[in-house]
Amino acid sequence: MSVKDKSLAHALKILDALNCQYKVIASDGNEYGQLQIAPLRKRKFRNKYKWGERSAYVRPHLKSLAIGDVAVIPPAHFDLTDLQSTVTSVAHQLWGPSSYSSSITGGSVELLRIA
């Protein structure tokens, strides 16, 4: 019996003595314990847009915005709430927190640069 096998047997004895429920799967595939393991769920999240697509659309509207200026960004093919999220994210990256204010107005996203 190897050191690893002895250590595993010792750990299992301790878990049994403590009346623990457990499931141990050893590196060789052997399973110990009575606990049932739930199957892993696959993530079903799908992005609506390609990675970076919204940001690439928004940046040209904001990059030359001076303090006190307002940018009006039409939605193109984006949802307005998704677009506003991207606009505020890009503004935060460019100028930092509390440096802008945004709203959805008249079918577009407006952003006022404050600082």
Residue type, 77: H
The pLDDT score that the predictor gives to residue 39 is 86
Is pLDDT at 112 greater than 80 in this prediction?
A: yes
Three-state secondary structure string covering 43-75: CCCCCCCCCCHHHHHHHHHHCCCCCCCEEEECC
Q: How much is the mean pLDDT over the chain?
A: 93
Structural contact between residues 94 and 76, judged by C-beta atoms closer than 8 angstroms: no
Per-residue DSSP letter, 15:
H
| CA 73 – CA 109 distance, rounded (Å) | 5
Residue whose tokens read 């990059």: 63
Report the predicted TM-score, pTM, of the whole model to 2 decimal places: 0.61
Per-residue DSSP letter, 96:
-
Tokens for 10, please give them: 């010792």
Structural contact between residues 73 and 113, judged by C-beta atoms closer than 8 angstroms: no
Determine the average pLDDT of the residues in 74-98.
96
The pLDDT tens digits for 21-70 are 999 999 898 999 999 888 888 877 788 899 999 999 999 999 999 999 99
